[in-house]
Chains A and B, each alone.
Chain A
Amino acid sequence: MAERGGERGGFGRGFGRGGRGGRGDRGGRRGGRRGPRQEEEKWVPVTKLGRLVKEGRFTKIEEIYLHSLPVKEHQIVETLVPGLKDEVMKITPVQKQTRAGQRTRFKAFVVVGDNNGHVGLGVKCAKEVATAIRGAIILAKLSVVPVRRGYWGNKIGQPHTVPCKVTGKCGSVTVRMVPAPRGSGIVAARVPKKVLQFAGIEDVFTSSRGSTKTLGNFVKATFDCLMKTYGFLTPDFWRDTKFVKSPFQEYTDLLAKPTKALMLDAPVENIEA
């Protein structure tokens, strides 16, 4: 692939200055100009957020959640959430009827999580199983969300259950999670139990409704429920938000929208229970 100078006549001269080549030492770790696969492990960020993460501007992924920035590269999540484990929940064949028979593809469901407040779910269809699994892992990492945990009663020790009753829905399946006392464990069917374990919830009562036979919808409903834990306004959040400048806004003051008084303190918004 790496044909110097290209093939078309006009482009051949594009590399005519090969003699001047030679690498300056000024920054620029680019590498990989030889074989295409040599520096494959090195991540070249595509988005601005990716560039900021790569150079180490963020220590925790909560700083990204604080500003609701969309995460478009899975390497961002890999860098910021180190203990991420993944597990394939199911691979099902899906079929499509064509004129000349049936076309079978495989659909993979993968859940990732660090067992401590971050969980993601990915679904991918592909013609080969390995491709589907790989793609689903990447999509799961792109969908990592924070999970809020709270207490059932006394606020002793670390939070262990959901902070309040929440419910999530996908298709006809609704899943309701109810706080449980310590030691109850996860009271749920096998499939959502796995997702809840990856999320780091230790005790919870669940109740489901609808056609839970469609386990794809069941697991998505559980995930939706977990996404909502941080969406629920509890009295802890009644204090006025102190806004912090987004990481993209450093150079362009004129683009700041004046809502409330912008205070430039250290972030006060702790995303812990």
Chain B
Amino acid sequence: DSSVSVRASTGKILSSKEEKRGRGGMGEEVHLGLPGPWAEDYREKADHYTTKIGGVPDWPTEDMGIKPHLLQCSLCGTKLCLVAQVYAPVAKLNIESRTIYVLVCPTSKCGPNPQSWKVLRVQKCHSIVQTNGKVDEVDQRKASCNISIYSKKRNKLKHSNAPIKCPLGKVKEDDPSLPVLPCFYIYYGKEKLGGKGIVGPNSSESVSGKEIADVANDEEEKWEGESYEYDRALGADRTFLKFKKRLDAYPQQCFRYSYGGKPLLAATNLQESRVCKLCGAPRQYELQLMSPLSYFLHEASDGSSDYAPDNWTWLTLVIYTCSKNCCPSTCVGKLVLPRQSQPTIPSCNLLQGT
């Protein structure tokens, strides 16, 4: 077979794993949200095409008509504050104006509980409405709640479903009492998976050729019977070490975006919600928030005691959206209660070595 002989002659064998590694995972590119400049004023307004962390949510229109309890914590009722606003158009489905808002309860008590998070997907759907012979093209902006958030703390998976709604009521604007997280803007980078020779952050240990030679030519002992071993450490398993390796390539990534791609998991116990509650279409991965985000917010805190990011212990927060980007045309006031997640256990109770 010709292909085999080519490989043998070059002396380099490409395993199937190596070839796959070149891709970002399932053939999709991964875009990384990297930290840009801080906002001068944390409450300053941008537009809904801006991708940013923290600050005030920029709704596409003034009168969004989002039901108020979509913007309230399901545990304590406090108004939610914005964690991330990601402008995410879908070119394939021709949806230009689509933004995802990730909201969280600002009180520290609700912090560890995944039910204090909500994700909204706001997109523009064109529809033509005929009223009295006139043809109006009405841009209806529907806010539909996103779907499920998988908050991955170490070794424990939490899962929450946000209730799904239709627009009713008004959203108060410019509420100065609304808590706001420190705001900074995001610019995008593409994840390039480097080769094995990428210099890690701690490259200060230079490995001299002599040292290798000394150790390689060993004296009387022969280390026999060694075979390939997967990476393992006392506190971190292989999945986490791979997660950390991807993270170390771009240590400041705040979120990863890959529409329909594969999430980068930090632990293997992931329960997934498969189906969109509105239309029944399967959900697919869209983006995940990463822990450097909570680090940056933590660093920017003004030292107040009730600061939510100080309590976050999640490693990554995976967000799945409806694969059909459904847009309900009827106003159905159906309330879907969030599924009860496992009781959250703070990281201090983790078992060692798992």
Interface of A toward B, CB cutoff 8 Å: 1-11, 13-18, 20-24, 26-30, 32-33, 36, 40-41, 43-49, 51, 67-75, 86, 88-92, 94, 96, 98-101, 103, 105, 107, 122-131, 133-135, 137-139, 142-143, 145, 190-191, 211, 213-216, 246-249, 251-252, 254-255, 257
Contacts and interface: CB of A to CB of B under 8 A. Distances in A.
B223 A215 contact: yes
A214 to B, nearest CB: 5
A165 to B, nearest CB: 24
B299 A27 contact: yes
A107 B224 CA distance: 12
A15 B39 CA distance: 12
A21 B187 CA distance: 12
Contact of A11 (B87, B231, B291): B87
Contacts of A211: 225
Interface string B218-261: 10011111111101111110001100100100111000000000
Contacts, number: 278
Contact of B224 (A5, A41, A214): A214
Interface in B79-108: 87-89, 91, 96, 108
A221 to B, nearest CB: 14
Contact of A249 (B44, B87, B295, B346): B346
Contacts of B296: 28, 30
Interface residues of B, number: 101
Interface in B179-236: 182, 184-190, 192, 196-197, 200-203, 205, 207, 211-212, 215-216, 218, 221-229, 231-236
Interface string B289-303: 001101110111110
A48 B347 contact: yes
Interface stretch (B65-73, B130-138, B309-317): B309-317
B229 A27 contact: no
Interface of B: 4, 7-8, 11, 13, 15, 31, 34-41, 44, 46-47, 49-51, 87-89, 91, 96, 108-109, 111-112, 154, 182, 184-190, 192, 196-197, 200-203, 205, 207, 211-212, 215-216, 218, 221-229, 231-236, 240-241, 244, 247, 250-252, 291-292, 294-296, 298-302, 310-313, 315, 344-354
Contact of A213 (B111, B188, B225, B350): B225
Nearest to B354: A70
Contacts of B185: 14-15, 17, 20-21
Contact of A26 (B7, B49, B300): B300
A247 B50 contact: no
Given A14-B51, A17-B46, A46-B292, 10 more contacts: A14-B188, A21-B37, A26-B302, A27-B299, A27-B300, A46-B295, A47-B313, A68-B352, A128-B197, A134-B207
Closest 10 pairs (CB-CB, A-B) = A70-B235, A246-B348, A21-B37, A6-B188, A142-B233, A10-B89, A28-B300, A248-B348, A14-B51, A13-B49
A257 B349 CA distance: 10
Contact of B87 (A4, A10, A28): A10
